[in-house]
Amino acid sequence: MEELWVKSAVASWKQIVERLDRRLLPLTDEELQKQVAPGKNRLVYLLGHLIAVHDRMFPQLGIGERSHAELDDAYLTNPDRTLPDPLPVADLKKAWSEVNGALTAAFEKLTPAEWLQKHSAVSDEDFVKDPSRNRLALLLSRTNHASFHAGQVVLAK
Amino acid sequence: MEELWVKSAVASWKQIVERLDRRLLPLTDEELQKQVAPGKNRLVYLLGHLIAVHDRMFPQLGIGERSHAELDDAYLTNPDRTLPDPLPVADLKKAWSEVNGALTAAFEKLTPAEWLQKHSAVSDEDFVKDPSRNRLALLLSRTNHASFHAGQVVLAK
């Protein structure tokens, strides 16, 4: 029965990632320069931001090393248009697909018991106090984060 | 152990609802008339839309009757600014808090086994074929939906 919990949580993640795939991957370099609203983030910033956040899930979940730390300065620690875009759009799209593909493959291998183990951002002591700070909670949180930005992406025109 | 799956999914739902509470409830009638981006939905439309969608979760999850069908025409089946707002803002805010409060209370009473039962939008035959179409999947989907619109709400200025 616990397999169904895993399946539902991973399906929810995949649904949001696929929605973003359909929205962002077909866009041209020029279209990705559009802002979601006047003065707000460009689509390319949100794409880079989501890659950086997802890439960090590997160490956070203890399922691998991250591979795109070069995106943090431009898309995570600084607001949009502070620094030049560090990668051409084609490379950014490739990184998006690779990071999400590798994450999803790793998710599908974790057992229900492994999903309830603590994630690396929680200390052993804190996890004993609050066992809900587990891998699953991190997955749900990142799925909501991606959905939050998906709601912004659809506004660009 | 399954209790932790329930707890994580409900915690994720509560987190998004509380984020929307903090954003929307303090706003004045006038502030709620703002659009999330030029020509896009007003905040009051998104508030009404989220109430209508959440209100429908009672029958969808088989945990009660809905109580705000009067919002569907203005906020669910028609785009923004098609029909007049059917309720004063104060009543809308009250409905938002009541609907979410009653849902969360009902969620906290469902057992892990009950979360894996089918939701009412799925036929018995389809559920046998795909048991992932359960109450939990609907909760995750509605949480993502709320997060999607939360991403838009923060853009209004």
Three-state secondary structure string covering chain A: CHHHHHHHHHHHHHHHHHHHHHHHCCCCCCHHHCECCCCCCEHHHHHHHHHHHHHCHHHHHCCCCCCCHHHHHHHCCCCCCCCCCCCCHHHHHHHHHHHHHHHHHHHCCCCHHHHCCECCCCCHHHHHHCCCCEHHHHHHHHHHHHHHHHHHHCCCC
Per-residue pLDDT of A68-88, as tens digits, reads 999 999 999 999 999 999 999
How high is the pLDDT of residue A38? 96
**Chain A residue with the nearest C-alpha to that of B116:** A4
Report phi then psi at B118, rounded to 5.
Answer: -65, 150
- B126-146: average pLDDT: 93
- B120-138: average pLDDT: 88
Minimum mean pLDDT range among A63-72, B1-10, B64-73, B102-111: B1-10
Instruction: Name chain B contacts of A140, Cβ cutoff 8 Å.
Output: 8-9, 12, 140, 143
How high is the pLDDT of residue A122? 85
Instruction: Name chain B contacts of A38, Cβ cutoff 8 Å.
Output: 37-38
- B137-154: average pLDDT: 97
Contact pairs from chain A to chain B, CB under 8 Å: 106
How high is the pLDDT of residue A3? 86
% of chain A beyond a pLDDT of 90? 86
Report chain B's mean pLDDT, rounded to a whole number: 95
How high is the pLDDT of residue B60? 95
pLDDT at B90 over 80: yes
Chain A 20-39, CB below 8 Å of chain B: which residues? 36-38
How high is the pLDDT of residue A32? 98
- B26-33: average pLDDT: 98
How high is the pLDDT of residue A70? 97
Q: Is A41 part of the contact surface with chain B (CB cutoff 8 Å)?
A: no
How high is the pLDDT of residue B132? 82
For B122, the 3-state DSSP assignment is coil
CATH of B2-153, one of 1.20.120.450, 3.30.70.260, 1.10.4080.10, 3.40.50.10860: 1.20.120.450
Instruction: Name chain A contacts of B113, Cβ cutoff 8 Å.
Output: 1
CB spacing of A148 vs B143 below 8 angstroms: no
Instruction: Name chain A contacts of B135, Cβ cutoff 8 Å.
Output: none
pLDDT at B92 over 90: yes
Report chain A's mean pLDDT, rounded to a whole number: 95
- A92-107: average pLDDT: 98
Tell me the C-alpha to C-alpha distance, in Å, between residue A60 and each of A34, A48, A66, A144: 31, 18, 10, 16
Best of B2, B3, B5 to mutate (most A CBs within 10 Å, chain A): B5
- A118-122: average pLDDT: 84
Question: Is the model more confident about A131 or about A30?
Answer: A30
Q: Is B105 part of the contact surface with chain A (CB cutoff 8 Å)?
A: no
- A116-136: average pLDDT: 88
CA distance to partner chain B, nearest, from residue A70 (Å) = 26
Q: If pLDDT is split at 50, 70 and 90, which confidence band does A121 have?
A: confident
pLDDT at A1 over 80: no
How high is the pLDDT of residue B133? 86
- B88-114: average pLDDT: 97
Instruction: Name chain A contacts of B8, Cβ cutoff 8 Å.
Output: 132, 134, 136-137, 140
CB spacing of A1 vs B152 below 8 angstroms: no
% of chain B beyond a pLDDT of 70? 100
- B122-127: average pLDDT: 89
